[in-house]
Structure 1
């Protein structure tokens, strides 16, 4: 009887995983066709939410989630250009002004959302943090914030920022269509062989080993930060050959999306829908304020308007880089500011979230926030 029961349980679990994978691919392909950013993460997350709401969810193992964090860390390390230090030396004043201004504005809006009891303090701060969305989810998880609400805020902002940046770039350069073309090629690149199997194998070792080393050392979000630092050093200083195959990234995005999606329930979904107008208003306000920072850089530092706008766009750094690569802008300046802001947020967001949580600890907790 026990063997039969175990076999039935395995069949049920296998069926749920098969459903989840099919839905994940379908949703990701649909979002990719619409041209929405982060479709390879959002598709699996939506699929996991749908199955969990139908009481057909799955359990994602902690080891898989740690390895996914390692892949994201390597992705962030790869995004740091070799000309990063040169850009700092050339435009250090404009870079630090733009980075500090956008970060303070984003934290301020997170504080405002928490003061209005829209979200708990920690979730409001992490959801507003203007770094890479995937990195913010991992750090929020490590700090004990409600990662479901953080995901809702982060990816809603990624969509809004990416759409507005695409529209601005298209208006500025009407003949540009490369971002859409690059997005359309994303799915087909999954089946292409890597340029070097040795480089992929080295990246896998770095990903898994770095993730577990960071966890063993008890570094906050070490499963992401240790591989990120190692990838930066090996790639930029030692010229070591490393390669992140698109399939590695797709699997990592899917694991993170599944991990987040399986934690949603009806109560959290209802809260997200109720808070949607307020969160959208805060996102649009941040976009406008950051555009104002870009205008200040144009007047003060002589940066061209499109470069300044893309450099100060609050979030969606990978998508902004794709847009900037096909537009007549200073790509090194755009990427350097986005990366520098990510590093600043990685360093300051945990402290900012703790300070905000303590300062509002005597306030009234929003309804439905019990975990």
Structure 2
């Protein structure tokens, strides 16, 4: 019972923080507001949490599925028909991932002083949960590894929308009022949404898809949309709740980490993320010249951050968010595949 009360209290505080972030015009307010509040509680006030408290994993996974359904519903036959034209950008991603990984490894190993295993798995530009699982098996420092992987996502989804807002002179993403959801969705649609989310989550686990809790529901929604069998409309209020839950869960990941460790990890992450964004900008400019794809669309396609916010930013730039999402799924697939292939070799040398 104490754990349930704490969870409800955290969600209530996070909801208020999300509303405040919305009033301030911050990007992704219903994710970043809750994340900041819960991270402060986890690092500054951990003594006020019950012993052994963890934010419920099932709750986080359920609402990640909602976000997957929202993105998948944007996949159309026209988008699938354009995939062959993206062969060049997909090939560029195959080069981007190892270059970014090598750059990050140098940061964490040489500047951060991390042991080889911790540095290697902290450096991956994607595959967050797979990196944590494989890193733990390889003997990496799980606290530092968790911190760096989550800081990568947090900084990218914070820095990039703000940077684009300043560059374009107007808000982008969720701060601009753009959304992948719909208003006025009838309550009668909720049972279909729940069933599709459960089916997608089960499929993602069974097929062992990267980020299966997201990509499984996304695939189900995409199949329904492309086949014309049923088009899922996700209500805006449900998407807001999903972001509040996910943001709170992300912030609570910092529980047990000292402020010194968090601040040091943040410094390393600024170097790592800054370098990756510069690298992403280089690839985006090259693809703009070779493919005539808009620079900003390619930039958010290569930025190694959260799939959801990158899709929201794409929508505000009048680009198809599903196209951007395809690039991010491809990035995750490449990262996870390279980790799987190298894991046996790494056990010998790390």
Both proteins in one fold, TM over 0.5: yes
Q: Which residue of 2 aligns with 1:367?
A: none
CA–CA distance in structure 2, aligned partners of residues 335 and 208 of structure 1:
21
| Count of residue correspondences | 332
Please tell me whether residue 69 in structure 1 is matched to residue 54 in structure 2.
Answer: no
1:60 CA displacement:
3.1
CA–CA distance in structure 1, aligned partners of residues 231 and 73 of structure 2:
11
1:234 CA displacement:
0.8
Given the alignment, which residue of 267, 271, 275 partners 1:277? 267
User: What does the per-residue CA deviation read over 1:13-67, in whole Å, with 9 as the maximum and x for residues that have no partner?
Assistant: 5653453133212222233334333332233333333333422335433432332
Q: Over the residues paired in the alignment, what is the CA RMSD in angstroms?
A: 3.7
**What are the within-5 Å matches in structure 2 for residues 254-333 of structure 1?**
254-316=244-306, 318-327=308-317, 331-332=319-320
Task: Report the CA distance shift for 1:359/1:283 in structure 2 as closer, same or farther (over 3 A).
Answer: farther
1:231 CA displacement:
1.3
Contact 1:82 1:236 in 2 (8 A): yes
Contact 1:33 1:184 in 2 (8 A): no
Task: Report the CA distance shift for 1:212/1:61 in structure 2 as closer, same or farther (over 3 A).
Answer: farther
Q: Which residue of 2 aligns with 1:219?
A: 208
Task: Report the CA distance shift for 1:41/1:314 in structure 2 as closer, same or farther (over 3 A).
Answer: same
CA–CA distance in structure 2, aligned partners of residues 139 and 39 of structure 1:
27
Task: Report the CA distance shift for 1:13/1:296 in structure 2 as closer, same or farther (over 3 A).
Answer: closer
Please tell me whether residue 56 in structure 1 is matched to residue 48 in structure 2.
Answer: yes
1:232 CA displacement:
1.2
The higher radius of gyration belongs to 1
Please tell me whether residue 124 in structure 1 is matched to residue 117 in structure 2.
Answer: no
The TM-score with structure 2 as length reference comes to: 0.76
Please tell me whether residue 44 in structure 1 is matched to residue 44 in structure 2.
Answer: no
**What are the within-5 Å matches in structure 2 for residues 24-39 of structure 1?**
24-39=14-29
Q: Which residue of 2 aligns with 1:163?
A: 162
Q: Which residue of 2 aligns with 1:369?
A: none
Q: Which residue of 2 aligns with 1:102?
A: 96
CA–CA distance in structure 1, aligned partners of residues 171 and 159 of structure 2:
19
1:122 CA displacement:
5.9
Contact 1:152 1:272 in 2 (8 A): no
CA–CA distance in structure 2, aligned partners of residues 277 and 356 of structure 1:
28
Q: Which residue of 1 aligns with 2:194?
A: 204
User: What does the per-residue CA deviation read over 1:104-134, in whole Å, with 9 as the maximum and x for residues that have no partner?
Assistant: 44333333334334582465134x32xxxxx
CA–CA distance in structure 2, aligned partners of residues 139 and 243 of structure 1:
30
Q: Which residue of 2 aligns with 1:153?
A: 152
Q: Which residue of 1 aligns with 2:139?
A: none
CA–CA distance in structure 2, aligned partners of residues 237 and 75 of structure 1:
16
CA–CA distance in structure 2, aligned partners of residues 307 and 66 of structure 1:
28
CA–CA distance in structure 2, aligned partners of residues 269 and 43 of structure 1:
19
User: What does the per-residue CA deviation read over 1:188-246, in whole Å, with 9 as the maximum and x for residues that have no partner?
Assistant: x99x963333433211111134324544x373654333222211111122341212222
